[in-house]
Amino acid sequence: MKVQNKVIIVTGGGSGMGRELVLHLLSKDARIVAIDINEAALQGTAELTGNKRNSLSTFVVDITNRNSIEKLLNDAITQYGQVDGIINNAGIIQPFVKVNELNYEIIERVMNINFYGTLYMIKTFLPHLLTRPEAHIVNVSSMGGFLPVPGQTIYGASKAAVKLLTEGLHSELAGTNVKVTVVFPGAVNTNITKNSGLNTPAQSAAENKSIKILSATKAAEIIIEGMENDRYRILVGKDANFMDRFYRLNPKAAAKLITDKMQALISK
C-alpha cells in the first residue's frame, strides 16, 4: 500500500523508531495519528514536523486499555474520516535478568504492552480497515522474537507472540484488501531502555561495543519501504538478516552465539 494521502496510526510515536516512522511517513505525504503514553514526547515529535504539522494529530493513549483504543478509533475517524493503516511499534524491554529473578508485575507489564497492546489495536481497527479500498497492518516484532536472548526471555516471548499473531493474521486476511507485515528489527538506536523504566547505561555501552547499531531513521525508511511493497516480513539491520539465516540453519549454534554475547549483561 502506497502511503501517500493515507491515514496511518503509529503507536509509540513520541520517540525512537516510532518518531522516525511518523516523520518519514509525513515526508511521503501521509496523514498521521501518532499515539504515545508520554504527552511531552508526542509534543517533541510534533515540533519536528515543520510544514507537515497540519498532517499530524497526536493522542495520549495507553495501548493496554481497550477503552482508550476504542476511543482512539472514534477520534481518528472524527479527525480524518478514515484510517487506512496501523503500525504497531510501541514496546518495552525487561530488566536484563533471568526469568527466575523477574517478578510477575514486570512480566505482565511486558506482555500487556508488547502483545496485548498490539492485539487490542488490531481487534479495534480491523473491522474498519476491512471497509477501506486498501489497508495495511504492520506489527513490529524483534530479532528476539525468533531467536532466544538470555536476560530478555519474557520480552522475546512477547515478541514471538506478535510474530505468530501477525503471520496468522496474514493467512486469515489473504484475499482481502488488508495487507499484513511483520517487522524484525535488530539493534536499532532508540531509547527503549529509558522508556521501559530501566537505567542501565553500563549495559547499553556493553551492547554497543559488540553490536553495530542501526539509526532509527534508517530503520524507519526500511520499514516504510517494505510496507509500501507489501512485504510479508521485514528484517531491519545486518544483524537481523544474518541471525535470521543462521538461526534457521543451526538454531542451537545461533542461540549459543547470542548467549555468549549476552553474558556480560546478565552475569552477576
pLDDT tens digit sequence for 192-212 = 656 555 555 434 434 445 567
The predicted-structure confidence for 54-93, as pLDDT tens digits, reads as follows 999 999 999 999 999 999 999 999 999 999 999 999 999 9
What average pLDDT score do residues 4-29 get? 98
pLDDT value for 39: 97
159 residue type, one letter: K
Cell of 15: 520517540
pLDDT tens digit string along 202-251? 344 344 455 678 999 999 999 999 999 999 999 999 999 999 999 999 99
Cell 525508511 belongs to residue: 221
Catalytic annotation present for 120: no
Residues 6+ apart with CB under 8 A from 77: 83, 128
The predicted pLDDT at position 267 comes to 52
The percent of residues above 90 in pLDDT, for the chain, comes to 88
How much is the pLDDT for 57? Answer: 98
CB 264 within 8 A of CB 241: no
Predicted local confidence at residue 200, as pLDDT? 52
What is the reported pLDDT for 195?
Answer: 57
- pTM for the structure as a whole: 0.92
Cα–Cα dist 229/55, whole Å: 23
Q: Which of 104, 116, 120, 155 is catalytic?
A: 155
pLDDT class of 265 with cuts at 50, 70, 90: confident
Confidence of residue 173 (pLDDT cuts 50, 70, 90): very high
Strand partners, 36: 60
> Could you tell me the domains of the chain?
7-266 (3.40.50.720)
Give the pLDDT confidence of 84-123 residue by residue, as tens digits: 999 999 999 999 999 999 999 999 999 999 999 999 999 9
